[in-house]
Structures are given as C-alpha cells and as structure tokens.
C-alpha cells in the first residue's frame, strides 16, 4: 500500500525532535552558559541523554523541576530557586532559559519572572546574564528552538555603535567539525568574526586537566554584544526567515546587512560562500582553499562514473536537506525524495531556486513527514541510497538500502560530531563517503566478486 500524502493523524517514527532540544544545543555554544529548561525535570534529562549520545560529551541542563502544584499554580517560585541554585553552584556568566510544553501550556510569563528575579537578587552582586527563548514543544521542531535561542542571545546583549571591522556568522545547526572549519576559513581570510553558536569545543573537546563547572569554549557574551555593530551578518539556512533569525534582528534593529544563503555544500554553494568572503574582505580566496576546490573538482571527475544517475532519498532538517540535494544534483545523483519532519512551508520553493529543473528531474519534496511516510515512497522511487541521520536505519535495513549518515542524531556510528559537511573540504568528505558507499554496495552484491574497482 502506497500512501501519497500524509493522510494519517498520528506520527510514527518521527523525523524531527522537539523545540527545546535545539535551544539547549545553541545555548551550549555560548561561553560560560548553563542551559535551563522551565518545565519538568524529565525534559532536561531526556534532552541531555539524547544530545550526549550524539556528541559523546557532557552537557548539563538545569530544570525548574515542576511538580503537580507547580503545574497548577505556576512555576515562578521554582524558576527563581532554580536560577539561584545554578548561579551558586556553577557560577555561570549566562543562563539560557528555554520553555517546554508544560510551562507554555500554563502560559508562564517568563520575562516577568526574570524581571522579578533581577529585582530581588540584583543587589546581592552581579547576576548572570539571562537569555530567554520561548520554545513550546508543540510547535515546530528542534531547529526552530535552535534559531530562537540564537536570536534571543543576540537580542539580549547586542549593542549598536560605530561599524566595526567584523562580520557575524550564524551558521545554524552544523557539526563541531563544520564550526572549526568555518573558523579556520575566516581566520585565513584575516576577517574578524563573531560565530554564534560555537559548540565546537564544548561539544567536542579533550580531557580536562582540571575540573570545569562549565566546559571551556563557546562564543563569549562580550563578542555577542558586538554583533550589533558588525559590518554584515552571514546566515546559513534556506528556510530561515528574517523575523525568526538573529541576523534578521540585527538588520532590523541596527541596520547590519543580513547576507543569507543556503548551507554551503557542493561546489556551487561553496563558491558562493567564498565569493562572499572575497567581497567582504576585498581579498582573494587563500591558495589553501583554491587547492581544496581543485582537488574536489578532480574528485568529481574521477568519481563521476560511480555516482552518475544514481537515486537518493535525503531526509533531515529542511535546510540540510536542501543543501545536500543541491550538491547531489551537482554530482549527478538525483535526490528523488527530499523529506523533512520540519514544516516551514518554504522547502520546495527554496530547493527550486537551487535546482530550477527539479520538476523535470523528478525530484520530489515532502515536508512534515515521518519515517513511515518516507518508507512508503521507497517502493515506487526505487532509490539506490539513503542520506540522513541514524533514525533512517530501520528503513535502510528493511529495504536493504545503504545509509550515508549525516547531520544529527548519529548514535549508531562513531564520530558523528566530527563529520564535516560544509565547504570544499566538507563536500570532499561527503563525496568520498557517498562514492565509497556505492562501490561497497556493488562490491558486496557482485556475484563475481570484484576485488579491484
């Protein structure tokens, strides 16, 4: 039985996570920040265990530990006790507060509670900065929480002023390896930048010589304050709209131009990114990256015979899916289905901008779907491979299709936090992995037994 549209009411095997998870992840990318969930302790525990299973790094998330009384009469008291305790134990410079379905359902006025808290304790010495993001779990998905937290951080501290020789970069939900690569590129261009959020160290760091209450790393609040006087903001994310984004806020409030683009995956989108940097710095792309590009083009040519004409199903966050689809189109793989649990309503439109002939190529876009919906498409679409996070494994096993793991969450392979997706280097890694997956599949399936491919 093939179901065309999502006619069903319930969700089976969801292709998205909940809103507060994204906020906690983004808060983890701010220096000396403790994420704090206003709701039941279970949310903090579940989200911690989930984030940890991907990054293999500790993440503390505090909670206001609602009980039945709190749920009925309001959580103001619990939130204040919680903030006080986190402050005493962890001595954070920032507390990133996000709501949950519980506190949103009872209509908690968190900004008011925070004002009361500051009024009550402000005289006892400096309080940590409080960033507040509204993240009701019954709206959107983890990616919305992520962007809400980044926007909230900027909104809390960004200041205007004379333009500084500085760019902001809001890359969205990318891997620690991607963040490190972006920082390397910007440094090589000699361009001062503020990258937010930066969890490249907090969620992918080494052993500690001494105990840290909060892991070292992250974007300092003092740097975030400067975002209001930057020369421009670069923001990745095809479906991220200005009113929901950090760069959008800075443009509206301080007139910092928002340069938005798709996540740079593939040669064309990476070219676009490097062009942008050349324009901003008035400097040529460093030789190192030109070399990376040359090697990548070379690889595209060498690997073309393996990948051309293959069909793939890509799933995950909308922005990631769009960028991967654009890259696949570039190498001759047809992304026969681009699927996401997200539902911005923009996915199709944005993909069309990157792949104008998607209709003719038979590229299908479906948002707001779950894995059962995706699985139901495999029979008709007959893809050669799947590209997405670990949650597609069941589908991959059932339909005997190889799965190239990218994005989040990856909990059934090692090193998900170190996967590179962006730029020439990230594209090179992705390309190699995809080609090898196809070769391996052919090799294993061959009755003759290829040993030399």
Partner 1 sequence: MEANIHFPDPSKVREELIQKYPAKVAKKRAKSIIVNDPETIPEVQANVRTVPGIITQRGCSYAGCKGVVLGPTRDIVNIVHGPIGCSFYAWLTRRNQTRTESLMDENYIPYCFSTDMQEENIIFGGEKKLKLAIQEAYDLFHPKSIAIFSTCPVGLIGDDVHAASKEMREKFGDCNVFGFSCEGYRGVSQSAGHHIANNGVFKHMVGRNNTPSVGKFKLNLLGEYNIGGDAFEIERIFDKVGITLVSSFSGNSTVSQIENAHTADLNVILCHRSINYMGDMMETKYGIPWMKVNFVGAESTAKSLRKIAEYFGDEELKAKVEEVIAEEAPKVKAVIDEILPRTTGKTAMLFVGGSRAHHYQDLFTELGMTTVAAGYEFAHRDDYEGRHVLPGIKIDADSKNIEELKVVPDPELYNPRKTEAELEALKEKGLEINGYDGMMKQMTKKSLVVDDLSHYESEKLIEIYKPDIFCAGIKEKYVVQKMGVPLKQLHSYDYGGPYTGFEGAVNFYRDIDRMVNNPVWKLIKAPWEKVEADSLEACYVTQ
Q: In this structure, what are the phi and psi dihedrals at residue 321, rounded to the nearest 5 degrees?
A: -60, -45
Nearer to partner 1, 62 or 226 (CB): 62
SS3 319: helix
**H helix runs in 236-370, sequence order:** 246-254, 267-281, 287-307, 318-331, 347-354, 358-361
Listed residue (212, 185, 213, 183) closest to 199, CA to CA: 183
Instruction: List, in sequence order, the alpha helices (H) in 56-100.
Output: 68-73, 76-90
Q: Which residues contact 107 (CB under 8 A, 6 or more apart)?
A: none
Provide, rounded to whole angstroms, the least separation between the CB of residue 27 and partner 1.
14
Identity of the residue, 53 or 436, whose beta carbon is nearer to partner 1 in the bound complex:
53
Least distance (Å) from partner 1 to the CB of residue 109? 16
Of 209 and 449, CB closest to partner 1: 209
Q: How far is the CB of 177 from partner 1 (least distance, A)?
A: 18
Parallel/antiparallel/unpaired status of strands 403-405 and 334-339: unpaired
CB atoms within 10 A of CB 431: 22
Least distance in angstroms from the C-beta of 286 to partner 1: 29
Query: Phi-psi region for residue 327, left (φ > 0), alpha (ψ -120 to 50) or beta?
Result: alpha
Q: Which residues pair with 129 in a beta bridge?
A: 94
Nearer to partner 1 (CB atom), residue 264 or residue 341: 341
DSSP assignments along 347-402, one per residue: HHHHHHHH-TTHHHHT-EEE-S-BHHHHHHHHHHH--SEEEE-GGGHHHHHHTT--
The least distance separating partner 1 from the CB of residue 372, rounded to whole angstroms, comes to 9
Distances (CA, A) of 16 to 235, 372, 374, 376, 397: 22, 13, 13, 18, 20
Among residues 44 and 223, whose Cβ is nearest to partner 1? 44
In Å, how far are 288, 295, 419, 428 from 291, measured between CA atoms?
Answer: 5, 6, 21, 12
Q: How far is the CB of 71 from partner 1 (least distance, A)?
A: 5
| Rounded least distance, CB 390 to partner 1, Å | 10
CA distance 112 to 31: 25
CB atoms within 10 A of CB 104: 20
CB hemisphere CA count around 58 (13 angstroms): 12
Least distance (Å) from partner 1 to the CB of residue 351? Answer: 24
Which C-beta is closer to partner 1: that of 141 or that of 329? 141
Q: Which is nearer to partner 1, 41 or 281 (CB)?
A: 41
Residue 123 Cβ vs partner 1, minimum distance, rounded to whole Å = 17
Q: Nearer Cβ to partner 1, position 61 or 223?
A: 61
Q: Cβ closer to partner 1: 104 or 319?
A: 104
Q: Which is nearer to partner 1, 23 or 363 (CB)?
A: 23
Q: Quote the least distance from Cβ 87 to partner 1, whole Å.
A: 8
Say how far apart CA 27 and CA 38 lie, in whole Å: 14
């Amino acid at each position: 039985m093939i179901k065309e549209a999502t006619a069903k009411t319930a969700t089976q095997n969801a292709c998205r996570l909940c809103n507060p998870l994204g906020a906690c992840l983004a808060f983890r990318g701010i220096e000396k920040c403790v994420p704090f969930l206003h709701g039941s302790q279970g949310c903090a525990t579940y989200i911690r265990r989930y984030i940890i299973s991907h990054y293999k790094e500790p993440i503390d998330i505090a909670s206001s530990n609602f009980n039945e009384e709190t749920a009925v009469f309001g959580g103001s008291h619990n939130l204040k006790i919680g903030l006080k305790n986190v402050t005493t134990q962890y001595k954070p410079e920032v507390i990133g507060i996000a709501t949950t379905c519980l506190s949103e359902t009872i209509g908690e006025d968190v900004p008011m509670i925070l004002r009361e808290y500051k009024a009550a304790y402000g005289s006892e010495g400096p309080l940590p900065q409080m960033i507040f993001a509204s993240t009701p779990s019954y709206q959107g998905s983890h990616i919305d929480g992520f962007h809400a937290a980044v926007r909230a951080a900027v909104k809390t501290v960004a200041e205007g002023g004379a333009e500084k020789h500085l760019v902001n970069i809001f890359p969205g939900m990318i891997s620690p390896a991607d963040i490190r690569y972006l920082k390397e590129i910007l440094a090589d261009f000699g361009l001062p930048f503020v990258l937010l959020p930066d969890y490249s160290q907090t969620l992918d760091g080494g052993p500690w010589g001494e105990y840290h209450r909060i892991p070292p790393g992250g974007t300092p609040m003092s740097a975030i304050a400067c975002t209001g006087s930057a020369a421009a903001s670069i923001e990745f994310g095809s479906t991220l709209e200005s009113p929901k984004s950090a760069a959008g806020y800075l443009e509206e409030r301080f007139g910092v131009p928002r340069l938005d683009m798709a996540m740079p995956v593939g040669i064309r989108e990476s070219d676009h990114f490097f062009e942008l940097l050349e324009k901003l710095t008035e400097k040529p792309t460093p030789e190192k990256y030109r070399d990376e590009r040359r090697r990548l083009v070379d690889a595209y040519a060498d690997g073309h015979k393996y990948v051309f004409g293959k069909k793939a199903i890509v799933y995950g966050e909308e922005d990631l899916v769009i960028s991967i689809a654009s890259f696949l189109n570039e190498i001759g793989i047809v992304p026969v289905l681009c699927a996401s649990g997200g539902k911005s309503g923009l996915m199709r439109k944005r993909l069309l901008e990157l792949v104008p002939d998607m209709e003719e190529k038979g590229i299908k876009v479906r948002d707001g779907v779950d894995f059962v919906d995706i699985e139901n498409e495999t029979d008709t679409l007959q893809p050669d491979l799947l590209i997405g996070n670990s949650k597609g494994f069941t589908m991959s096993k059932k339909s005997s299709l190889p799965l190239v793991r990218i994005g989040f969450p990856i909990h059934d392979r090692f090193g998900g936090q170190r996967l590179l997706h962006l730029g020439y280097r990230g594209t090179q890694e992705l390309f190699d992995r995809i080609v090898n997956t196809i070769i391996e599949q052919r090799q294993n399936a061959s009755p003759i037994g290829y040993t030399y491919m």
